[in-house]
Amino acid sequence: MFSPIKSHKTIFICWILAILDIASDAYASPKEILVSPSGSYTAQFKYENTLYKIRQNLDLKGKVLTVPDNCILVFEGGCIKNGTVMGNKTIVKAGKHLIFENIILLGSWNNREVFSEWLDFSEGEQIDNAQNFRNLMLLCTGDTQTDLYMQEGVFFCSVIKESSNIQVPSNTYWHNSAMICQLTTDLPKYSLILIKKASNVTIDGGIFVGDVQTHTGVGGEWGHGIKVAGGTNIVLKNLTTKEFWGDGIDLIEAEYNSVLGGGVGLCNNVTIDNVKCLYNRRQGLSIEAAHNVVVKNSEFAYTGKYKMTSPGAGVDIEPWCKNETKIRGIKFFKCYIHNNHPQRDFCLEPTIQYHVKKGEDNRIPESDVELKECFLGKLYIFGAHTVLIVDCEIDEISHYTFGERIRMEGCTIKHKSNLKSRKGLTMRRCK
């Protein structure tokens, strides 16, 4: 029997579903607006969840363009120039061509791919590309992994006291084909590249060059090439860092805590693969505060060739404060460390477990530091604890004091004359 009530209810439900379907389509496919260079930008950029197509140059004439929330900028031939663009979870879609000219980017961005060709990078020793590098890194911020592609060329960048113009954000895979050179400075402390409190970062390729030959200051020893400060899941591979006022690469805590009297925020899970650290002033690689580090197929050489400050090693494992266990799970495999400080190619300083949290036992890991199949040049050991050295070629043990649980197995040691004390050292199958 026909029921008008049931029929009306069915029609009502179908009507509601149709409205929801239309709303869903509208959300999935935002409206499109072709931006006119002759119209008011404020009037045009006023809709959220909208796709804005740019086919002609938009000259901001020094003003600020604010992009509404969750919009997509699609560049089909034009660019935005001469001003500031404020993103709000903004996505950019463009090929490898200029889209931002003489622009400062601010706000939040959310891109899966970013190309350096989007920005007006310029080569030349007197050209500072700092703003473009800041823009480039800002475009890589967001909720998903970003693949950043840096074009071939030689690009210079200035540095900032105790910071960096090139701060790599989390979830960035940097495919680098460029040589990035630091402009000369007199600053005592800075980094060309800084990875601070970031996670899931890869820098793959490129050459990074410091100013050790032209540095105009005399103080300080912390002008680093790549500084990882409290980074997690970090990969540095297929790259070279050379001629820096401080270290080629430094792994250290995120920040200093005055209450604890030490650094906090350790680096964790770092891989250094096929890397060269050459001709730096202080060290090739410093490991000051890190757990679970793998260094392989890499070379650390010629520290101090142009200028040197102590320690001057190719590699130095050197925890500098004692508020917690700074060094754990450090592994070197097939690395070549040579021609650094006359007494220090590979330097092992105190790695003992100083701090035990309440509820933990006092056991020390079987091998805090492992070295396998490496050439170590002159090995300098001062206060190191729990080290395993296997199948390595060592030119000379240039210094050994205060070692504990140091084991060498199957190593070839060319000169042993300076090995006056073997306390804490076990040698097996060595020659």
How many alpha carbons lie under 13 Å from residue 411 in its C-beta half-sphere?
27
Say if residues 100 and 114 touch (Cβ distance below 8 Å). Answer: no
- Mark whether 331 and 196 lie in a shared domain: yes
Return the percentage of the chain with pLDDT > 70, whole number.
88
The predicted pLDDT at position 366 comes to 66
Domain final position from 90, 110, 130: 110
Pairing mode, strands 255-257 and 262-264? antiparallel
Structure confidence by residue, pLDDT tens digits, 114-157: 999 999 999 998 899 999 999 999 999 998 899 999 999 999 99
- The answer to the question of residue 270 being in a domain is yes
- Mark whether 347 and 411 lie in a shared domain: yes
Domain final position from 110, 127, 160: 110
- The answer to the question of residue 422 being in a domain is yes
Task: Work out how many domains the chain is built from and give that number.
Answer: 2
Containing structural domain, residue 80? 23-110
- The answer to the question of residue 274 being in a domain is yes
Structure confidence by residue, pLDDT tens digits, 231-288: 999 999 999 999 999 999 999 999 999 998 889 999 999 999 999 999 999 999 999 9
pLDDT value at 20 more than 90: no
Structure confidence by residue, pLDDT tens digits, 67-102: 999 999 999 999 999 999 999 999 999 999 999 999
DSSP for 117-177 reads: GGB----STT---HHHHHHHHHHT-SSS-EEEEEEEEEEEE---TTS-SEEPPSSEEEEEE
- Mark whether 189 and 290 lie in a shared domain: yes
- The answer to the question of residue 250 being in a domain is yes
Say if residues 396 and 415 touch (Cβ distance below 8 Å). Answer: yes
Q: Which residue has the tokens 């091998």?
A: 367
The predicted pLDDT at position 364 comes to 57
- The answer to the question of residue 102 being in a domain is yes
Single-letter residue type at 32: E
- Mark whether 105 and 175 lie in a shared domain: no
- Mark whether 271 and 409 lie in a shared domain: yes
Q: Which residue has the tokens 């006092």?
A: 362
- The answer to the question of residue 46 being in a domain is yes
Structure confidence by residue, pLDDT tens digits, 30-52: 599 999 999 899 999 999 999 99
- The answer to the question of residue 359 being in a domain is yes
- Mark whether 173 and 87 lie in a shared domain: no
- Region 200-211: mean pLDDT is 98
The predicted pLDDT at position 22 comes to 39
**Contact partners, residue 125, CB within 8 Å, separation at least 6:** 156, 181
- The answer to the question of residue 278 being in a domain is yes
- Region 159-164: mean pLDDT is 97
The predicted pLDDT at position 203 comes to 98
- Mark whether 103 and 151 lie in a shared domain: no
Task: For the chain, give the mean pLDDT.
Answer: 91
Q: How far apart are CA 305 and CA 339, in angstroms?
A: 9
Backbone angles phi, psi at 269, to 5 degrees: 65, 70
Dihedral angle over CA of 388, 411, 251, 175, nearest 10:
-120
- Mark whether 95 and 167 lie in a shared domain: no
- Mark whether 151 and 82 lie in a shared domain: no
Burial grade of 275 (CB within 10 A; 0-12, 13-18, 19 or more):
buried
Domain final position from 60, 93, 110: 110
- Mark whether 275 and 376 lie in a shared domain: yes
**Which domain CATH number covers 326?**
2.160.20.10
